[in-house]
Amino acid sequence: MSANSKVSGLILAGGRGTRMGRVDKGLQPFRGTTLVAHVLQRLAPQVASVAINANRNLPQYAEYGCPVLGDELGGFEGPLAGLQTGLRHCGTELLLTAPCDSPFLPPDLAQRLLAALQSQDADVAVAVTLEADEQGVVQRQPHPVFALLKASLLPQLDAYLATGARRLEGWYKSLRLAEVVFEDAAAFRNINTLGELQQFDQANGQPGQPGQPLTLAAVASCLDAYDPDAMSVRDAQRIIGDFITPIQSFEKVALRSALDRVLAQDVISPINVPAYDNSAMDGYALRGADLPKEGSVTLEVIGIVYAGRPTALACGPGQCVRIMTGGAMPEGCDTVLPQELAAAIGDGSVTIAAGVLKAGDNRRFKGEDLAEGGVAIARGKVLRPADLGLIASLGLAEVAVQRRLRVAFFSTGDELRSVGETLDTGCVYDSNRYTLFGMLQRLGCDVIDMGIVKDDTVALEAALRSGCENADAIITSGGVSDGAADYTRAMMARLGDVAFWKLNMRPGRPLAFGKINSNGRSAWLFGLPGNPVAVMVSFYFFARAALLHMMGANAPLPLLRARAQANIRKRPGRSEFQRGVLSTGTDGAPQVRLTGAQGSGILRSMSEANCMVVLRDEQGNVAEGDMVDVLPFEGLL
Ligand SMILES: Nc1nc2c(c(=O)[nH]1)N[C@H]1C(S)=C(S)[C@@H](COP(=O)(O)OP(=O)(O)OC[C@H]3O[C@@H](n4cnc5c(N)ncnc54)[C@H](O)[C@@H]3O)O[C@H]1N2
Ligand code: MOO
Ligand SMILES: [Mg+2]
């Protein structure tokens, strides 16, 4: 099994190699083999199949066992021409491209581009790295030839090329593009000159490591326009995603304890599953060549094979073997007749009529589920029951999972009282710590509940420092808008690199995000708004993805489309997250209605909901019957 059965790979090796003195780059010797072989080795485990796009030396490329495709446009017209050929021959929904001179490409390229393509509903996902220029200013460096594209884009590409245009970036401009930041810029290093080839060939291991830690200002400077007082949801998500880095720490746990944990390393299959060719039916194993073209044939039954009991039986012409489901196919046999399809079963013989069976039917191949040495499950997956079973089927008793993320949280505000305390005049019970507890627990975090912290600089400083020294991330609620008694902001800003945003969204307008430091330790900080619905919305749309990214997990938001059961008022220019009830209409299609009053202090609107209706910036009023995006709260537990 390959990591992504929906994705085919295409190695772009069709260039002229101008900067290398017109040599065929892909075939240049590199670390004991060729450049293209290194790329193939890294790409193949990530995709269902790989093809090579080349315009010369086609027989040499064919030796790598992949289809070799020459440009339809006649050769040397640039990467778009290679892409056109690749898309034309692509047998899957998606095509992943990589150049032939990038021997260090990331092992999770397909997985991360796919997650972004799906979650952003994009046509193309491309890799981006953040690199400091000579002045030390961080620049966003796109790598457009490391791309995941929908195969359905072919007609659009044909039309674009027909205009005479040849620029990859030009074509991407007409598509919905998702960018994925990869931390390791060195993984995208391509080798352009023979000098570089020689230099890397002699160097040991990977090329250089990424540089200095990033600052929020540097990350924000990569946006076209950055205005902390008018941020779009998308820009905020992008800055958070770019700033956060995953924790690099894992532990080995017994298989049962791995449920709901994040896989830290690819599970490589040590065996073929199944380990031998076997029967998918109770019946008779036979030689496909013996099947009659017309009339019927009677075969001699020479023995019986049970599952789990190997046999030395071998069938010659005219012979067959009685076999049970899971029994190893006897030598010479390639087909199984299910017993109920036999025309007659005699004493030591079975009769088969023409047309009931094709040669090869009902045989399961060795390795058809999982091939030895292949990636059975890619790292980053949150392990579900099927995954535990799959790992068990490989005979593995333990598995490497990411260490649990430690998240500290507290509520701020003098008006808050904890459950169990008397509710004084003008006070409210603290509900945010309970919703936060629930959401963090569901995400699989180790939680540290730090209680209620008063609007008081000393108490706030102590709480933030303690959270920072004991946790990977801190989540606070309240005090991030600029009210008179909101000391939270000032203290957060004093302790680190924190931005305070006003977002074009409702609820959840104010948000603080950054990294704070205390006594040599640092922690990511999410200052969520105090209103009880806003805290949840901000958690789901900002903190959740960030925490999952820290955990190294790959789990995009599962959005569905549903029909609005009534008009919904919506102001264009901001994102709105309304609480809804998703159900099935009389026609069997998903439909959604809102849960009454939607004020950001009305927690009942959340409690009664089973989904959120996600209405993006550009959207105006929704009319009854229109389709909207919804985020269901529950999956299959
Ligand atoms: N002049 C403006 N005022 C406000 C703005 C604004 O842009 N301009 N934004 C509003 C929005 S939107 C929100 S949301 C809130 C966020 O304010 P804070 O993050 O500073 O939160 P607080 O002021 O501390 O509390 C807001 C509200 O929520 C209640 N609350 C707080 N914590 C809890 C808790 N743990 N459990 C239950 N309820 C809680 C608190 O009592 C307040 O009623 O600011 C608006 N104002
Ligand atoms: O973030 Mo506030 O709760 O939107 O109203
Ligand atoms: Mg406030």
In a domain, 456, yes or no: yes
Residue 245 falls inside a structural domain = no
Would the CB of 529 count as within 6 Å of ligand 2? Answer: yes
> How much is the pLDDT for 636?
64
Residues 439 and 512 in one domain: yes
User: Mean pLDDT over residues 134-162, rounded?
Assistant: 90
User: Do the beta carbons of residue 536 and residue 435 sit within 8 Å?
Assistant: yes
Instruction: Say which residues have a Cβ less than 8 Å from residue 174's Cβ, sequence separation at least 6.
Output: 156, 160
Name the residue range of residue 342's domain.
278-364
Residues 423 and 490 in one domain: yes
Residue 534 covered by a domain: yes
How much is the pLDDT for 230? 93
- Cite the beta strand spans of 14-169 per DSSP E: 29-30, 33-34, 49-54, 68-69, 94-99, 124-132, 138-150
pLDDT at 5: 85
Q: Look at residue 208 in the predicted model and tell me its pLDDT.
A: 32
Query: pLDDT value at position 212?
Result: 44
Q: Of ligand 1's atoms, which has the minimum distance to the CA of residue 531?
A: 28
Q: Which residue reads 């036999």 in tokens?
A: 342
Indicate whether residue 574 lines ligand 2 (CB < 6 A).
no
The count of other CB atoms within 10 Å of the CB of residue 382 is 19
Q: Is 408 annotated as a binding residue?
A: no
Ranking 62-66, 78-82, 193-197, 605-609 by mean pLDDT, the lowest is: 193-197
Q: Count CB neighbours of 55 within 10 A.
A: 22
d(CA 204, CA 186): 14
Q: How far is ligand 1, taken at its centre, from the CA of residue 478, in Å?
A: 6
Q: What is the mean pLDDT of residues 50-65?
A: 91
Q: Residue 599 Cα, ligand 1 centroid: separation in angstroms?
A: 12
Residues 331 and 377 occupy one common structural domain: no
Q: Where are the alpha helices (DSSP H) in 416-528?
A: 432-442, 457-470, 488-495
Ligand 3: distance of its center to the CA of 60 in Å?
A: 68
The CATH number assigned to the domain holding 93 equals 3.90.550.10
In a domain, 106, yes or no: yes
Between CA 557 and CA 549 the distance in angstroms is 13
Instruction: Compute the distance from residue 508 Cα to the ligand 2 centre, in Å.
Output: 4
116 and 158 belong to one structural domain = yes
User: How many domains are there within the chain?
Assistant: 5
Domain boundary among 550, 577, 612: 550
Do 494 and 582 share a structural domain? no
CA nearest neighbour of 294 among 232, 233, 356 = 356
Please provide the average confidence, as pLDDT, over all residues in the chain: 91
Judged by its nearest atom, the ligand closest to the C-alpha of residue 534 is: 2
Residues 314 and 454 placed together within one structural domain of the fold: no
Name the residue of 506, 528, 576, 598 whose CB sits within 8 Å of the most ligand 2 atoms, as the mutation to test its pocket: 506
Lowest mean pLDDT among 109-123, 376-390, 481-495, 588-602: 481-495
Q: Is the pLDDT of residue 192 over 80?
A: no
Same domain for 527 and 577, yes or no, is no
* 451-479 pLDDT tens trace: 999 988 999 999 999 999 999 999 999 99
Name the percent of the chain lying above pLDDT 90: 71
Q: Is residue 378 in some structural domain? A: yes
510 lines ligand 1 (CB under 6 A): yes
Poorest-confidence range of 272-276, 418-422, 446-450, 467-471? 272-276
337 and 200 assigned to the same domain: no
Counting ligands in written order, which one lies closest to the CA of residue 512? 1
Residue 1 has pLDDT above 80, yes or no: no
Largest CA distance in the chain: 95
Residue 126 has pLDDT above 70, yes or no: yes
CA torsion through residues 440, 446, 452, 453, sign: negative
ipTM: 0.96
Convert the pLDDT of each residue in 70-123 to its tens digit.
Answer: 998 876 788 999 999 999 999 999 999 999 999 889 989 999 999 999 988 999
| Nearest atom within ligand 2 for CA of residue 600 | 3
Let me know whether 49 and 194 are in one domain. yes
Residue 332 has pLDDT above 90, yes or no: yes
Cα dihedral 523, 524, 530, 533 sign: negative
**Integer Rg of the chain from CA:** 30
Lowest mean pLDDT among 40-54, 164-178, 200-214: 200-214
Residue 539: give its domain's CATH number. 3.40.980.10
Q: Is the pLDDT of residue 542 over 80?
A: yes
Task: Report yes or no on 555 lying in a domain.
Answer: no
Is 607 domain-assigned? yes
Tell me: the pLDDT tens digits for 205-254? 333 333 345 688 877 876 778 899 999 999 999 899 888 888 888 999 99
Ligand closest to the CA atom of residue 527: 1
User: Is there a single domain that holds both residue 42 and residue 147?
Assistant: yes
CB of residue 527 inside a 6 A radius of ligand 1: no
Per-residue pLDDT, averaged over 167-171, amounts to 92
Binding site membership of 506 for ligand 2 (Cβ less than 6 Å): yes
Would 318 be classed as within a structural domain? yes
Q: How confident is the model at residue 291 (pLDDT cuts 50, 70, 90)?
A: very high
Q: What is the pLDDT of residue 210?
A: 34
CB 398 within 8 A of CB 263: no
High-pLDDT (> 70) share of the chain, %: 95
CATH of the domain at 355: 2.170.190.11
Query: Which residue's CA is minimally distant from atom 44 of ligand 1?
Result: 481
What integer pLDDT is reported at residue 637 of this predicted model? Answer: 54
Instruction: Answer yes or no: do 100 and 183 share one domain.
Output: yes
Q: How remote is the CA of residue 427 from the centroid of ligand 3, in Å?
A: 14
Please tell me which residue, 555 or 284, carries the higher pLDDT value: 284
410 and 467 Cβ atoms separated by less than 8 Å: yes
Tell how strand 363-364 and strand 278-279 pair up.
antiparallel
Dihedral of CA atoms 44, 46, 48, 49 in degrees, nearest 10, equals -20
Does 531 contact ligand 1 (Cβ within 6 A)? Answer: yes
Asked if residue 500 has pLDDT above 70, the reply is yes
Mutate to test the pocket of ligand 2, among 481, 486, 504, 509 (most ligand atoms within 8 A of CB): 509
Residue 356 has pLDDT above 90, yes or no: yes
Cis peptide before 572 (omega within 30 of 0): no
Tell me the ligand closest to 605's alpha carbon. 2
Q: Is 86 in the pocket of ligand 1 (CB under 6 A)?
A: no
Domain final position from 212, 230, 258: 212
Same domain, 482 and 598: no
pTM of the model: 0.71
Lowest-pLDDT choice from 264-268, 443-447, 486-490: 486-490
| Per-residue pLDDT tens digits for 576-611 | 999 999 999 999 999 999 998 999 999 999 999 999
For residue 213, the model assigns a pLDDT of 56
